[in-house]
Amino acid sequence: MSRYPAAVDVAIVGSGPNGAAYARILSEEAPEAVIAMFEVGPTVSAPAGAHVKNIVDAEERRAAQAASQGPARDAETVSSPGAVKAGARTARPGTYLLEDGFRVDGEDGLPVIAFSSNVGGMGAHWTGACPRPGGSERIPFLPDLDELLDEADRLLGVTTDAFDDAPFTALVRERLADAVDPGREEGARVQRMPLAVHRREDGALVWSGSDVVMGDVTRANPNFALHDETLVLRVLLEDGRAAGVEVQDRRTGEKHTVRARFVVVAADGLRTAQVLYASGIRPAALGRMLNDQAQVVYAARIADAAEVAARAGGASGESFGERDVIDGAISEQSGVSWVPYTDEEPFHGQIMQLDASPVPLADEDPVVPGSIVGLGLFTAKDLQWDDRVEFRDDATDAYGLPAMRIRYRLTARDHEVLDRARARIVELAEAVGEPLGERPFTMPPGASLHYQGATRMGASDDGRSVCGPDSEVWGAPGVFVAGNNVIPTATACNPTLTSVALGIRGARSIVRRLS
């Protein structure tokens, strides 16, 4: 007996935040619709799709991360982006790298491009920064973008106050503001980073994953079912329109067909394009205009932290508890500040107080919690038609789908913007305190984990886009694409809020057509 239904109204491929957003909107607005979500990876947390950082037991958390690493379950990983050494190809916990095909000789490639294969996707491992796009990052042909972003905030559970009690956050923001704000419009000034994180009533921090995006309404929907460990091999078309999916049960190896009126492919920044390619849906723009946000990181130390803390009667000398130190990422001690992107200064700044110094400090020099500040500037790519993911007909990946080959170069303009970012990050570090380390570190391409463009949205079917403003693939009615891959602009800000916003528009379009 197959564990799959013979037919549904909507098949969703992928259980990350974008697939989850479709499930949520459909559950809220079309509760009669029968929905099946297919996820190639296992369920690693409870509720399904929950962020692994919410797992209290460190061993269990590490097991959940390893189980998310697809074919690289046992590979070594490093937790903080700053820990990646030049040239080292190491993935973050919960993610895995492309084994080969990440660079063609003579090009930059995307050597640390990464994936997660688990219920919740990368959204079970992310930092949760949810800034809004500004200036040219915005999608000019969507008049309802702001309302969609508001809705995305609701689905992702975005807050700005979760870290208000963390030491030194206000001080860091004040110091950054002195260096950044003069001449900027109010919305572009230094502010708290909107984060998909909230505090439970007992005070514990909860990171949003797909569980939060789906919400109780999806979990309680008797017409919704999530099928984990299920690979979608291809989208089935009949007379050119969506007819269902062919899936493979990863537990038994058996293949099945599930008929569907609508298929939403939300299989991440690269694999969404892969599923379309494997289905014979190959518009000219498929895989093209691929873009990653080049990233520069640095750190500073609030040298006068002990005095500031003493003046405030605060945290100086406190030691970290076990729950506070999680994988070098944000913790109870972390404030996260946002330096918004502007077209004049085309970088997006994510400034986080770290729980450990990325460079060794003298032993006699104990770290005052919150006093080590990690600075990251993401830059917007100079979009190029030739930057792309290609799919091979003569080789397959670990799942048996067409193998990827990345074609990717940084242009002269990309290098110029990176030079500016390196200079700017030094100024920001000096504004915050005492820079740590001789110079900023430029991350290897792909490190942002923000891969955009491969199934980009367009206002019209002009051969430069894969889908229309409702995320429906041109020439393949009923097939929708979701994820950062849909974003047509070169954003520098963390893109998940924006991609979820676009998904909400797509889901509403399906709702209208279901009735």
> Catalytic residue positions?
450
CB 379 within 8 A of CB 347: yes
Count H helices and E strands in the chain, helices first.
9, 19
Residue 495 is a binding residue for ligand FAD (CB under 6 A): yes
Smallest separation, CB 123 to ligand FAD (Å)? 4
Q: How far apart are CA 26 and CA 56, in angstroms?
A: 32
CA quadruple 38, 39, 43, 48: dihedral positive or negative?
negative
Q: Which is nearer to ligand FAD, 16 or 283 (CB)?
A: 16
Residue 17 is a binding residue for ligand FAD (CB under 6 A): yes
- ∠ CA 438-444-447, nearest 5°, is 110
Binding-site member from 25, 72, 129, 436 for ligand FAD (CB under 6 A): 129
Strand locations in 269-426, DSSP E? Answer: 295-301, 336-339, 347-354, 372-379, 388-396, 402-407
**Region of 96-104, 123-131, 216-224, 403-411 interacting with ligand FAD (CB under 6 A):** 123-131
Q: How far apart are CA 10 and CA 26, in angstroms?
A: 9
Cβ neighbors of 374 (< 8 A, separation 6 or more) are 80, 82, 297, 298, 299, 351, 352, 353, 354, 358
Tell me which amino acid residue 37 is. M
Question: DSSP string spanning 85-107?
Answer: PTT---BPTT-EE-SS-S--TTS
Residue 433 is a binding residue for ligand FAD (CB under 6 A): no
How many residues at the interface with ligand FAD, by CB under 6 A?
A: 39
What are the residues facing 373 on neighbouring strands? 300, 353
Residue 351 is a binding residue for ligand FAD (CB under 6 A): no
3-state helix, strand, coil in the chain (%, to 5): 25, 25, 50
Phi-psi region of 256 (alpha: psi -120 to 50; beta: other; left: phi over 0): beta
- The angle that helices 145-156 and 17-29 make with each other, rounded to 10 degrees, is 100
Per CB under 6 A, which of residues 361..400 are in contact with ligand FAD? Answer: none
475: phi then psi, degrees, rounded to nearest 5: 75, 5
Q: Which is nearer to ligand FAD, 160 or 411 (CB)?
A: 160
Binding characters for ligand FAD, 249-268, by CB under 6 A (x = yes): -----------------xxx
Q: Which is nearer to ligand FAD, 123 or 445 (CB)?
A: 123
Residue 334 is a binding residue for ligand FAD (CB under 6 A): no
Residue 80 is a binding residue for ligand FAD (CB under 6 A): no
Residue 95 is a binding residue for ligand FAD (CB under 6 A): yes
**Region of 57-65, 104-112, 121-129, 356-364 interacting with ligand FAD (CB under 6 A):** 121-129
Binding characters for ligand FAD, 174-193, by CB under 6 A (x = yes): --------------------
460: burial class by Cβ within 10 Å (0-12, 13-18, 19+)?
exposed
Binding-site member from 331, 455, 491, 496 for ligand FAD (CB under 6 A): 496
Tell me which amino acid residue 351 is. I
Residue 127 is a binding residue for ligand FAD (CB under 6 A): yes
Binding characters for ligand FAD, 39-78, by CB under 6 A (x = yes): xxx-------------------------------------
Cα Dmax for the chain: 72
Residue 331 is a binding residue for ligand FAD (CB under 6 A): no
Residue 14 is a binding residue for ligand FAD (CB under 6 A): yes
Smallest separation, CB 113 to ligand FAD (Å)? 11
Residue 244 is a binding residue for ligand FAD (CB under 6 A): no
Binding characters for ligand FAD, 269-298, by CB under 6 A (x = yes): --x---x-----------------------
Helix intervals (H) in 314-376: none
Smallest separation, CB 488 to ligand FAD (Å)? 15
Q: Which is nearer to ligand FAD, 41 or 374 (CB)?
A: 41
Q: Which residues would be at the binding site for ligand FAD (CB under 6 A)?
A: 13-19, 38-41, 92, 95, 116-118, 121-123, 125-129, 231-232, 266-268, 271, 275, 449-450, 483-484, 494-496, 499
